[in-house]
Amino acid sequence: MQLIKNAKILENNHLVTRDVLIDGKKIVEVSEHNHSEFDTIDAKGAFLSSGLVDVHVHFREPGFDYKETIATGSQAAARGGFTTVIAMPNLNPVPDTAERIAAQIKLNETNGMVHVKQYGAISADLTASKVSNIAEMAAAGAVAFSNDGKGVQTADTMLQAMLAAAQVDKPLAAHLEDDSLLHGGVMNDGEQSKKLKIPGITGLAESSQLARDLVLAKATGVHYHVAHISTKESVTLVRIAKLQGVNVTAEVSPHHVLLSDTDIKGDNALFKMNPPLRSQADRQAVLAGLLDGTIDMIATDHAPHGTAEKNKAFREAPFGITGIETSFQLLYTHLVRSGVMTLETLLQRMISAPITTFKLDAPTGVAVGATADLALFDLDHQETISVADFESKGKNTPFIGWQVYGKTRATWVDGKLVYQSF
């Protein structure tokens, strides 16, 4: 038995102080005072929540272990307060068959400090036009499907993928990117790209493919999920599609909520990711979408890279930034503390929405009988984001030096303490 004393938990939208008793993997008591002498952690008034859930991470193993491994990525997840994540398939080999999915799931379970679920690839090597065997991969344990990192270029490939995913009732997560509109761009196309003389990517590369997919999603009834939404037009399209009854959900990454292309002051690839940081108007639109529920959830798109490759010029460095260790702190500080969003809504977007829409087996509250996947956040402790503190191998974040609240003090997975910092 383990006892977490003096934790604040949310009950009917109010913070109340409670002692939480864990037996094995489960919470067995939530009470005002527990006087037992079990193995005790004093939460000292910190906020205890169910663990956060991230449907979009890159853990790089196998194939790119120098950037991240399942062990370091999941340790970073635990430090960020996450207890369940879904890992993208842009690995080497790409998990695009039932055998590879089974092997990947085994590796995730052996090496993961948190629950690491797995996406199967929509098509071989993320680029083939022929759709992989989605039914077999689902039977082998893939929880959803995506070619993240690459857009699905033809309507027929997307249609076949949707029909197959609908058959097995699994979400299809789309990385939206029409290659014919890229023209070698590496940041958002706009005033800032012109000023910096860095080639731009039009937002139409995302929204035009989304428009295509929403028509196909309506026809097939698949659960279609928009990965890392970034433009105003995309938010409008999702809003309209939802009104029309399309089974669509969307995620936004913290950087698209908090930054825009005007934050890129020079040739600094720590601000390079795909989709790129968009305009202020886009940023405001994704924030509005997140607030009104058009955008269902936050997902970090945690994309670690090596320091040397990210030190290259903007045109040459790889796309992607780390995010799993900073997302709760950044959003708690800049949305909740600043009064834009309630803590309940932020947690809904980071816990219950991903669990419900992806049908994950994970707890959505601190309650008797729930699995003890828990995170303890110190909402009043202020600190500066420093990559020296990162568990991730990836030190590539544009948020270095930001002042944030909400430090993770401890994380439990299945009742096991996997991270602590008191």
Q: Which is nearer to ligand DOR, 85 or 362 (CB)?
A: 85
Between the CA of residue 42 and those of 39, 117, 123, 186, 422, what are the distances in Å? 10, 31, 49, 48, 10
Question: Tokens standing for 192?
Answer: 């800032």
Restricting to residues 324-353, which ones interact with ligand DOR according to CB under 6 A?
none
Question: Kindly report the CA angle at 26 between 20 and 28, in degrees rounded to 5?
Answer: 50
Residue 390 beta carbon to ligand DOR: minimum distance, rounded to whole angstroms? 16
Question: Kindly report the CA angle at 123 between 118 and 126, in degrees rounded to 5?
Answer: 75
Q: How many residues bind ligand DOR (CB under 6 A)?
A: 12
Residue 134 beta carbon to ligand DOR: minimum distance, rounded to whole angstroms? 20
Active-site residue identified among 213, 301, 373, 378:
301
Restricting to residues 265-304, which ones interact with ligand DOR according to CB under 6 A?
273-274, 301, 303
CB count within 10 Å of CB 20 equals 27
CB-based contact 30:18 (threshold 8 Å): yes
The residue whose two tokens read 């309507």 is 155
Among 185, 200, 320, 415, binds ligand DOR (CB under 6 A): 320
Cα 213 to Cα 394: distance, rounded to the nearest angstrom: 33
Question: Tokens standing for 147?
Answer: 């070619």
Residue 181 beta carbon to ligand DOR: minimum distance, rounded to whole angstroms? 16
- Measured N-to-C along each axis, helices 204-220 and 155-168 cross at an angle, to the nearest 10 degrees, of 50
Cα 413 to Cα 112: distance, rounded to the nearest angstrom: 11
Cα 338 to Cα 356: distance, rounded to the nearest angstrom: 28
Residue 18 three-state SS: strand
Among 81, 149, 185, 254, binds ligand DOR (CB under 6 A): 149
Among 69, 72, 90, 326, binds ligand DOR (CB under 6 A): 90
Among 8, 58, 225, 232, binds ligand DOR (CB under 6 A): 58
Binding part of the chain for ligand DOR, among 33-41, 70-78, 239-247, 315-323 by CB under 6 A, reads 315-323
- Residue 21 bridge partners (DSSP): 3, 29
Residue 323 beta carbon to ligand DOR: minimum distance, rounded to whole angstroms? 10
Site string for ligand DOR, 166-205 (x = CB under 6 A): ---------x------------------------------
301 a catalytic residue: yes
Restricting to residues 113-132, which ones interact with ligand DOR according to CB under 6 A?
none
Q: Which is nearer to ligand DOR, 271 or 358 (CB)?
A: 271
Nearest residue relative to ligand DOR (C-beta) = 320
Residue 255 beta carbon to ligand DOR: minimum distance, rounded to whole angstroms? 10
Give the active site residues: 301
